[in-house]
Amino acid sequence: MDEAISRQINEIMKRMTCRKGFKCAASGFENLCRAKDIGLKRHLQCLELMPSLCEYSLELDKKFFCACPLRIYLTKKLHIQSPEKKASAR
């Protein structure tokens, strides 16, 4: 991974908390929560089975959205998509 990208990721992580202990970063971003870019500037569509367990999950009209700054950066800036597997209740 490019050094500038690594620095940006570290800066994002410093400004936030994560109850999951940044498992995504520890796995080299192989273990990502399932989310999809639906064109919103600051949110992704959450595709997890139990989104209410995540501190960055927002419910609106029975739909869940991801507001995790790191996950949004990975999707929107680096185009890292959700893994091709079933959603989990991480």
Question: Tens of pLDDT along 13-44?
Answer: 999 999 999 999 999 999 999 999 999 999 99
Tokens 């992704």: give the residue. 44
Question: What does DSSP assign to residue 85?
Answer: S
Smallest Cα–Cα separation from 46: which of 71, 12, 14, 21?
Answer: 71
Domain assignments of the chain as residue spans, ordered by start: 3-76
Smallest Cα–Cα separation from 47: which of 8, 21, 24, 37?
Answer: 37
Q: Are 80 and 72 in contact (CB under 8 A)?
A: no
pLDDT in tens, 62-87: 999 999 999 999 999 999 887 655 44
H or E segment to which residue 60 belongs: strand 57-60
- Calculate helix-pair angle for 3-14, 69-76, nearest 10 degrees: 150
Q: Evaluate if residue 90 carries a pLDDT over 60.
A: no
